[in-house]
């Protein structure tokens, strides 16, 4: 479980996220939605241990994400701009992560490489953006990490790969008993993969509910419609916008 308790992160005088609390349960996918700049990336990097919170704390399986963390409790993050070692290939990154994550699975790595059809000996720097993201995702799924964080991971993927990723994340959460947090600015991408949805607006969490409850309380409406109502966005008058 990922337990985020009253977390605030500042950069100087700028507050990136403020007093955010949420829980991502084991064997589930938590969808984190918000527009660009809302604070999603800062929150995920704080959970991953990249940033220290200025207030509050993050617990991963009951242990601090920042103090006394062990490899088996270290979340794997697929950042918006994935990290790879210089001149890295998928196989060299496999060696890198297999040396840290104790539950790394070579068998899973081999299966995913075949599934995505990537050249394991090619330099990742020569891949397209979508292929680099696929590589980062398959490496994360091979670690066996009990906490998996994905930041805008649908970006750069074609439709078939996005559908495949959703299926893989659901299955990974089930098989590993993992808590998965998936951020996106696109609710349509999250609607059929997430068990729970949280929305960050102006650096704060403005709602946090299960997808089943959202649909039950708003029959016949999509999550996108609910999201727009939550932000009190009405029909905008654009008739007078373009003037020549």
pLDDT of 235 over the 70 cut: no
Quote the DSSP letter at residue 146: S
Number of H helices, E strands in the chain: 8, 10
pTM reported for the whole predicted model: 0.90
Domain-located, residue 192: yes
CB half-sphere exposure, 4, CA atoms < 13 A: 29
The Cα–Cα gap between 38 and 52 comes to 18
Domain-located, residue 26: yes
Domain-located, residue 141: no
User: How does pLDDT run across 11-47, given as a tens digit for each residue?
Assistant: 999 999 999 999 999 999 999 998 888 899 999 999 9
Q: What is the largest CA-CA distance in the chain?
A: 64
The token duo for 153 is 């991971």
3-class SS of residue 114: helix
Domain-located, residue 23: yes
Domain-located, residue 237: no
**Cα 131 to chain centroid, rounded:** 17
Q: Which residue has the tokens 């029959």?
A: 219
User: How does pLDDT run across 81-129, given as a tens digit for each residue?
Assistant: 898 999 999 999 999 999 999 999 999 999 999 999 999 999 999 999 9
**Cα 26 to chain centroid, rounded:** 15
Instruction: Kindly report the CATH number assigned to the domain that includes residue 197.
Output: 3.40.50.300
Domain-located, residue 238: no
The Cα–Cα gap between 150 and 103 comes to 19
Domain-located, residue 15: yes
Domain that holds residue 23: 1-75+147-156+179-232
Q: Span 238-244, mean pLDDT?
A: 80
**Number of structural domains the chain divides into:** 1
Instruction: Check if the beta carbon of residue 8 is closer than 8 Å to that of residue 118.
Output: no
The Cα–Cα gap between 8 and 10 comes to 7
Confidence band (pLDDT; 50, 70, 90) for 192? confident
């Amino acid at each position: 479980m990922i337990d985020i308790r009253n977390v605030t992160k500042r950069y100087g005088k700028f507050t990136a996220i403020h007093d955010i609390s949420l829980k991502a349960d084991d064997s589930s996918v938590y969808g984190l939605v918000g527009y660009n700049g809302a604070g999603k990336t800062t929150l995920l990097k704080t959970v991953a241990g990249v940033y220290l919170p200025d207030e509050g704390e993050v617990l991963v399986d009951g242990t601090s994400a920042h103090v006394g963390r062990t490899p088996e409790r270290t979340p794997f993050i697929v950042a918006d701009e994935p990290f790879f070692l210089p001149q890295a290939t998928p196989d060299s990154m496999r060696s890198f992560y297999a040396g840290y994550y104790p539950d790394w699975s070579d068998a899973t790595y081999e299966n995913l490489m075949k599934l995505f059809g990537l050249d394991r000996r090619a330099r990742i720097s020569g891949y397209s953006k979508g292929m680099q993201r696929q590589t980062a995702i398959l490496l994360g799924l091979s670690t066996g990490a009990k906490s998996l964080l994905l930041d805008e991971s649908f970006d750069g993927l074609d439709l078939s790969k996005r559908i495949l990723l959703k299926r893989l994340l659901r299955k990974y959460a089930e098989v590993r008993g993992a808590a998965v947090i998936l951020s996106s600015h696109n609710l349509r991408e999250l609607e059929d993969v997430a068990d729970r949805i949280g929305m960050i607006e102006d650096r704060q969490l403005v709602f946090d509910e299960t997808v089943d409850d959202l649909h039950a309380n708003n029959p016949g409406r999509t999550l996108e419609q609910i999201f727009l109502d939550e932000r009190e966005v009405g029909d905008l008058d654009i008739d007078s916008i373009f003037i020549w």
